[in-house]
Amino acid sequence: MKNIGFIFPGQGAQYIGMGKSLYENYGVARRVFDKAESVLGFGLKDICFNGPEEEITKTDICQPAILTCSAAAMEVLKETRGFIPSLCGGLSLGEYSALVCSGALAFDEAVALVYKRGRFMREACEETDGTMASLIGCDEGKAAEFAEQASCEGVVTVANLNCPGQVVISGEKKAVYKALELAKSAGIRKAVELKVAGAYHSPLMKSAKNRLTEELERVEIKKPLIRCASNVLGNFYSEKDDIKYFLSEQITSPVLWQDCAEAIIREGCNLFFEPGCGKVLTGLLKRIDASKRCLTIEKKEDIENLTGSV
């Protein structure tokens, strides 16, 4: 069988109806959702399947929701089609799904942990006046230059390196707005503020990082059975004992997603699956390496269409 990479979406991929098709058609998906609800103690299924929008977009709801959808899709893919990943990774929150996939983190512990992570991040956003912005047609060096020039207005930093020509900056609103002005003046193709609750992956998330660090001490991390990429390293974890440290660092550090994807590609993966919800990483992978094939798995028809297509 080909070398296969499983890549998992992060916050922002959520939508009303996600996971419903898999839940209604596969017992293994139902077991994943039911397990999540028993751990969390609230009706996650109803929020995923029916909304409302203002509920599913809450940071502390969408994080466990996306992880649950990803785990359900992953289990359906493995059980019905026998696809076992050679390597895995995920974008920000998606790294937790990847760690579940790798065997390093039990699903029940992961879903409880990301629920708390989401709450910590939401509360950090409420305590600060932050935002994020996307710079399209901009490289890391130029984005860092804009951030440095805008730092006279406050904290602003590079937050995501998603694919060639796509950089996200994050920080205090006045500083981010200044960086946007600089980017537009420099002729950057597209420079826009993102619709987010705050300055994720920036120093403004320090309180969330500190609280998550405490929670991580209570979680059992096992040796990964499948190699998993770290957003902070932009490469694979080499030691089990590094995982808690880098999950904590991830809260305030840039997400090196392009580096993660390229690390997986270097190991010989030509076929990728994006289990869960949306096609964000599939789109990014096309810009990172258009020769690689990526299939999204979020509905019954996605599973059925695999017959003879892989």
Contact 277, 66 (CB under 8 A): yes
Cβ atoms within 10 A of the Cβ of 146, count? Answer: 28
Task: Determine the straight-line distance between the first and last CA of the chain, rounded to whole angstroms.
Answer: 10
Active site residues: 92, 201
Handedness of CA 144, 146, 150, 155 (dihedral sign): negative
- What gap in Å lies between CA 306 and CA 299, rounded to an integer? 12
Counting runs of H as helices and runs of E as strands, what totals does the chain give?
A: 14, 10
- What gap in Å lies between CA 116 and CA 6, rounded to an integer? 25
Give, in order, the Cα–Cα distances in Å from 146 to each of 24, 175, 178, 195, 296.
48, 10, 8, 20, 35
CA nearest 9: which of 96, 118, 81?
A: 96
Contact 105, 98 (CB under 8 A): no
H-assigned helices in 162-205: 173-185
Contact 276, 255 (CB under 8 A): no
* Token output for 272: 């990728």
